[in-house]
Chains A and B, each alone.
Chain A
Amino acid sequence: MKEKNDHKHANRYGMVIDLDKCTGCGSCMVGCYAENNVPFKPDETNKLDSINWIRIFKLTNKKPYPDTEVCYLPMPCMQCDGIGKHGHSPCVSVCPAVATDYDYDTGIVSQIYTRCFGCRYCMAACPYHARKFNWWDPVWPADMEKYLSPNVSPRMRGVVEKCSFCFHRHQLAKDKAYLEERKELEEDEYQTACADACPTGAITFGDLNNKDHAVYQLKNSPKAFRLLERLETNPKVYYLTSKEWVRRAGDNYLAHEEPGKLNHTVKEHH
């Protein structure tokens, strides 16, 4: 029987990344690679066919020294809620074989590797380039296969993969809660690998619908913004910055427009 979705009480997992704290160290990427069995090439020079579930961009304000400012921006999958927050994220609605799905209980956009037949329409639809194609079969250096996580299936050539907000950790936490006859998860019971790995605490993860979780307050900060918000993708990854130029770099604005004053025109925020 089809499970009834209770949107009102569902969890809605999301992330808040404080760009003022991010040093661009790359720990989040390393943590993610190890946790999710993300394959890598012998030569990673060409980033356009590299697989990574979280990438770090280096932004500058394009001003000459001494006014130069740098900001590092980690970008995982935005786990978009889509227009009207109905789960019609850009990628989910276009996949012809339902190989990517929106989980109404968590708000997480999944990828079913054994269902994906590699048409790449989801990649064309994603404005964040969060989706990666397996151009090659994964090849691990000698003995490294022994160190792969048993909780995450490695992906084969010819399919698309992407950040899952470490969904296997959610499953493990839910199993534990079930055994302990609990329905709700504590905030620290389910955390992503990138949030765990971040040495400066720039990444905060939790339930955006839960007032007791840190992300609930953080997303309402006046410093908060989301990437390409005007496209109405409704991302569940928020960013914090005190710098106006960073906020402006996160979206597109006409010459006369100011980021902070446009929010009323964007549909469905919180």
Chain B
Amino acid sequence: MKETPLIPAGVKRCSKWQFSIWMAAVTAVLLWGVYAMFLIWYKGLNQTNMNDAYGFALWIWADLAVIALGGGAFFSGFLTYIIGKNELKNIINYAVIIGFICYSSALLILAIDIGQPLRGWFIFWHANVHSMLTEVAFCLSCYFAVLTIEFIPLILENPKLDKKPFLHHLSHNMHGIMAIFAATGVFLSFFHQGSLGGVAGVLFGRPFAYREHIFIWPFTFFLFTWSAAAFGPCFTILVTKVTELITRKKLVKDSVYQLLAKISGWMILTYIIAKTIDTLYWAFVTAPSKGFTLMDFYASSTYNIGILFAEIVLCGFVPGLILITKRGRENSFLLMTAVILAVIGVSLNRWVMVLQVMAVPLFSFNDWYAYMPSWQEVATTVLPVAYGLIVISLAHRYLPVFPQEKELNPID
């Protein structure tokens, strides 16, 4: 096969034609998103269905969600390189790739979302140190650089590139110092995940979002970091399982999944207990001090109390309890159920902290604000998904992403 020099030795890949058709289909979706993106850059944000009440909408949710889901990269890196859970080295490459996709997508979405894209650098140049968004921009950009550094040695392991002595040694040496970057990534992630929580938590004019502070940080600062560390690994597991399903081969041993799922389960359970305490304090102390009852925030047909139940119980306690039990983790149906619920749970939390904040009326003479994204918003939100699929497809085909693949899938 002509492509053999580019494909890692000892692994089997689909035919070039099969791969090309798949890539063409995903690229078509990507181009749809790119078209919408240029339409927005050329014509402006009037191409969206956002309005003055819904200044933050689908994109900011997508931004927060992909950053939370990409949290698997920093937390897996922390567990692998700092805590020393060596078994996770069998999934860390993929966690880094998923993180890289998530963070590059987040930066792209931000570039689309701002009204004056050519002034995007103002956030660094004219930085307001009191703004949570400034902290997000700095830490997010720095962490993306860290993820790129973490991704490079894996790219250099492509058989063709690895033949070059310089690239081979560069990759080897970069692997050697990866713990430093993992530690840097953890430090940066703590702040930008937290700052994203702070973006909503500091809004003292929005009682649905506002939370009490510890020093300068609202409770949401800690909850967002905690939830990203807790739910991010579930997304890593989910994407790996889906990759196994599509490629029809086992890529990671069950023991690796079990370990990551167990840690994730305990993190989810402790997080959701903290989130419950935060919710109770907000519902019975903070909100009433502003003249609101809990049910004032859930008085809409769209945003009813069911959403709170779904977030905390169905997509919080349930996956947490499944994943902390050995029987739950070892049953593949329960494991997948828990992982899917967890991914929905953290995405729902980010949705609520962006879109419900905008929807809640603050005056008795105002009604709930409604919003439905335009096709351009949907297309540009699907764009990162298509982009992610392309990066994953290329990485899986040409890079030795899974160290256990050869052992699990011996070629005769």
Chain A 237-269 per-residue mask, 1 if CB under 8 angstroms from chain B, else 0 = 000000000001111111001000000010000
Q: How far is the CA of A112 from the CA of B369 in the complex (A)?
A: 28
In the bound complex, how far is the Cα of B288 from the Cα of A265, in angstroms? 12
8 Å CB contact of A123 from B46, B55, B122, B133: B55
Cβ-based interface call for A49 (8 A): yes
Q: Are B134 and A96 in contact (CB under 8 A)?
A: yes
Q: Mind listing 30 A-B residue pairs with CB under 8 Å?
A: A48-B52, A93-B202, A94-B131, A94-B133, A94-B203, A95-B131, A96-B123, A97-B127, A98-B126, A115-B126, A117-B116, A119-B115, A121-B55, A124-B55, A124-B206, A124-B358, A129-B52, A133-B55, A134-B115, A136-B46, A158-B114, A158-B115, A227-B363, A228-B205, A230-B289, A231-B205, A231-B207, A252-B290, A254-B288, A254-B291
A249 (CB) vs chain B CBs: closest residue? B364
Nearest residue, chain B, Cβ from A71: B365
> Which residues 82-111 of A sit at the B interface, judged by CB distance below 8 A?
83, 88, 90, 93-99
- For the complex, is A168 an interface residue (Cβ under 8 Å from B)? no
Residues of A within 8 A of B119 (CB): 116-118
A37 close to B (CB within 8 Å):
no
Most A CB contacts (10 A, CB to CB) among B128, B288, B363 go to B363
Q: For residue B363, which residues in chain A have a CB less than 8 angstroms away from its CB?
A: 57, 227-228, 249-250
A45 at the interface (CB under 8 A from B): no
Contacts of B126 in A (CB 8 A): 97-99, 115
A133 near B115: Cβ-Cβ < 8 Å:
yes
Shortest distance from the beta carbon of B364 to any chain A beta carbon, whole Å: 5
Q: How far is the CA of A115 from the CA of B291 in the complex (A)?
A: 36
A253-B236 Cα distance, complex, nearest whole Å: 45
Within the complex, what minimum Cβ distance (angstroms) separates B277 from chain A?
Answer: 22
User: How many inter-chain contacts with C-beta < 8 Å in the A-B complex?
Assistant: 155
Interface 1/0 per residue, B288-303 and A, CB below 8 Å: 1111110010000000
Verify if B304 is at the interface (C-beta below 8 Å from A): no
Tell me if B132 is interfacial: C-beta within 8 Å of chain A.
yes
Q: Which of B182-211 contact A (CB under 8 A)?
A: 199, 202-207
Is there contact, CB below 8 Å, between A120 and B115?
A: yes
- Whether a CB of chain B sits under 8 angstroms from the CB of A127 is yes
Interface size class of A (residues with CB under 8 A): 35 or more
Known: A129-B52, A252-B362. 15 other contacts (CB 8 A): A57-B365, A94-B133, A94-B203, A95-B131, A98-B127, A98-B128, A116-B116, A119-B115, A121-B55, A123-B52, A124-B206, A124-B357, A233-B204, A252-B296, A253-B291
Check A54 for interface membership: any CB of B closer than 8 A: no
Q: Across the interface, do A119 and B113 meet the contact criterion of CB distance under 8 Å? A: yes
Instruction: Evaluate whether A133 and B45 lie within 8 angstroms (CB atoms) in the complex, with A124-B55, A124-B56 already known.
Output: yes
Closest to B210 in A: A231
Complex partner residue of B114 from A49, A59, A117, A131, CB under 8 angstroms:
A117
List chain A residues, Cβ under 8 A from B2: none
Q: Is A126 an interface residue (CB 8 A)?
A: yes
Q: Cβ of B137 < 8 Å from any Cβ of A? A: yes
Contacts of A158 in B (CB 8 A): 44-45, 114-116
| Interface flag for A157 (CB, 8 Å) | yes
State whether the Cβ of A38 lies closer than 8 Å to any Cβ in chain B.
no
Closest B residue to A49 using CB positions:
B51
> Please, which residues of chain A bring their CB within 8 A of the CB of B364?
248-249, 252
Q: Let me know if A120 and B51 touch, CB within 8 A.
A: no
| Chain B residues in 8 Å Cβ range of A93 | 130-131, 202
The reply on A46 being an interface residue by CB < 8 A is: yes
